[in-house]
Structure 1
């Protein structure tokens, strides 16, 4: 044994100095690992007290632990006005960006209406506090409101009747109410004309204001593409106007008839403030709630005032993210026209569909696009396959709904429905149709 040790020592000493240093260091490390034993706490019998260690995190570190931290939320999606190809109607109809109109339906409450825009419940409670009448909205009444860029409620207008309108303006953290009573006389008038150029210009030539022309377009938006009317197409509009001192103060569309390509299209207002055809059937094209065959897990919710958990800055999330397996078919939620189908920076492969004149849906981060701009799609049609393109940390679908150029919560938004009137409501409506139809004569 001593002979072996002596031979090893001689061999070691004959090595160059750098080699001796390296070999010696490895020997020390090896011996240290061999004799080291980690300390482990073994509780004595009967000792059941838990081992607790508190770790203090500052605000920024805490944000990185939230589920949303894995989502690419620091970059806003493209603004819809950058996507929509402008036509003569968009140029002529007043800009509605940041505002929204809503006709109260059965079962609606102020909170159920405003919640779809993620308007703060504190603001809703403030409104009800200063005006308890807001607790009992009436079917057919109209609400309109204005939001700031970050989704905060700025003004709410409530049309209780043709005579009375209440307005609620933000004043700091509260709201101030004002009321206006109209004193004019309401008179019905029929305006007729023919299309020569754009519809809005033709309607104004017939005596309608740009706002009244816009109301006609909205009433018929599910039946007609107003960009494709032909010269010589005819229309007849029944308007109810409030006249004060010989001047029209406000107006309401009661019915419209438009003849295009030898076919007549009708929209007549019912007592609930919505428009139906001559038989009482709904004009809107129904929407699906989800853009997939089945519902998938929501990985990131809609929040126009969301705080980026990593940067701490306001980064609006204007849609909903669904965690989808790669290649899942993505479906159009309603009938419409594809206005965008392309790859676009952070959005990756994405599609935008216009439904009528007020609604638009957008689908982002897809692996493959199955439609192109200009295509007409039906509810349930495949428009792409989900993926992970663009600014994305994992396979998912970012889905948005916009109404009047305002993003709404896709999970709670009041979507268009195609049901018609029934029972007594339909009976009353058909009686009204008999009065309106004879007035809608074409020249």
Structure 2
């Protein structure tokens, strides 16, 4: 036995040091397991250790990812309490429709996904016309949605001559094309403000759609509600004339004189408007309404279903799980149009940015702004909370474009950008042609 032990010891000592350490560790563990006797619980008359806890329906829902905001009701529409002005009333956006100008990097899916349109619908659109895979900068898309957010019709202006339309037929889409046969002519329409701008522009010969285009082109530079009597405007429109009637039109340039200052917006080949030097007119937006990015506890979903009732209860924004009292920031320059407590939204703020964009911030603990107040990008507007229909501290944040909710995480936000290189050279040549035509009466 001793010889066996000595042989084992000699063999162990001849092993490399790392192997000796490993073998020694395994020996210790083996001995520990051999002598260890685990306690085994035998059920008897004693009270059980595990206790069954029953949760009611509301408590169970707090375990779900979207627990930060109840889903028994959908988010109120801005039409419910957003104040209207004379421009909204005189030049209203058509309900359920949206227009979009294709820009650099856009694809059909990237454009439509931000509005919550199903990928299956996008796939069916491409099946009906493979050319939709090759959108070009400056082309315009417009679409119509049903009340529950389903895509009903898509219109693609391939050029000023050709328009393609895709109408839903069951789960697929039928395409049709229309070629315009009229003659395009440029018209300069000018006038003075006497009363509201909308009334004055109509008196000068502009249609409601053309007035809307003018307002959107200069929405970041001026407030059309504050124009004064005697202010002047000149608009260059390109109109397609067929049998003496205008079939469609396109805004090429506009000049507004308010007080002693002139404002210009001139259309470039990419379909966007720039000033006379080629600088962008839009005001840039931040992606998130907080200093840092927080976890998303509930995503944007315009067709979300209530798991209990099965009813569509749209979630028109995103919920960020943030601590109570976190500063909430305005994502862009604008005017506060709502700052109050309102039912399920709790304390909330709505900000209008230009004429097309609106952001909303809900369930706030404290409001730091008032209606009518001007704010800049990054300004503190509130402290986060859990007021209203809320099961925990969070910020519900929405972006609306043309009165339609979009996904704040993927929406194409306005950026301060300008033209460069050949694009700028071509644009400046166009400016030299357009500006002399924008004369006042």
What TM-score does the superposition give when structure 2 sets the normalisation length? 0.86
- Conservation of the 8 A alpha-carbon contact between 1:66 and 1:309: no
Q: What's 2:430 paired with?
A: 432
Q: What's 1:10 paired with?
A: none
Counterpart CA distance in 2 for 1:128 and 1:185 is: 31
Q: How does 1:148-227 map to 2 (within 5 A)?
A: 148-227=146-225
TM-superposed deviation, 1:62: 9.9
Q: What's 2:347 paired with?
A: 349
- Conservation of the 8 A alpha-carbon contact between 2:68 and 2:298: no
State the secondary structure of the residue aligned to 2:358: strand
Counterpart CA distance in 2 for 1:234 and 1:255 is: 14
- Conservation of the 8 A alpha-carbon contact between 2:68 and 2:394: no
Identify the range of structure 1 (302-311 vs 160-169) with the bigger mean alpha-carbon deviation: 302-311
- Conservation of the 8 A alpha-carbon contact between 1:64 and 1:310: no
Counterpart CA distance in 2 for 1:357 and 1:230 is: 19
TM-superposed deviation, 1:37: 5.0
| Alignment equivalent of 2:368, drawn from 370, 394, 399 | 370
CA distance 1:348–1:36, change in 2 (3 Å):
same
- Conservation of the 8 A alpha-carbon contact between 1:371 and 1:383: yes
| Alignment equivalent of 1:135, drawn from 133, 146, 160 | 133
Runs of 4+ with deviation above 3 angstroms:
37-40, 60-66
State the secondary structure of the residue aligned to 1:124: helix
Q: What's 2:390 paired with?
A: 392
Gapped regions of structure 2 (runs ≥ 5): 1-42, 50-57
Q: What's 2:33 paired with?
A: none
- Conservation of the 8 A alpha-carbon contact between 2:93 and 2:403: no
TM-superposed deviation, 1:199: 0.8
Q: What's 1:36 paired with?
A: 45
Pairing 1:104–2:102 present = yes
Counterpart CA distance in 1 for 2:354 and 2:59 is: 46
- Conservation of the 8 A alpha-carbon contact between 1:96 and 1:405: no
Q: What's 1:230 paired with?
A: 228
Number of residue pairs matched? 392
Counterpart CA distance in 2 for 1:39 and 1:221 is: 70
Q: What's 1:24 paired with?
A: none
TM-superposed deviation, 1:361: 0.3
TM-superposed deviation, 1:78: 2.2
CA distance 1:128–1:224, change in 2 (3 Å):
same
Counterpart CA distance in 2 for 1:35 and 1:378 is: 70
Gapped regions of structure 1 (runs ≥ 5): 1-33, 41-59
| Alignment equivalent of 1:334, drawn from 328, 332, 335 | 332
RMSD of equivalent CA atoms: 2.0
Q: What's 2:66 paired with?
A: 68
Q: What's 2:243 paired with?
A: 245
Q: What's 1:122 paired with?
A: 120
Counterpart CA distance in 2 for 1:318 and 1:165 is: 31
CA distance 1:174–1:35, change in 2 (3 Å):
closer
State the secondary structure of the residue aligned to 1:433: helix
State the secondary structure of the residue aligned to 2:307: coil
TM-superposed deviation, 1:97: 2.2
Q: How does 1:250-269 map to 2 (within 5 A)?
A: 250-269=248-267
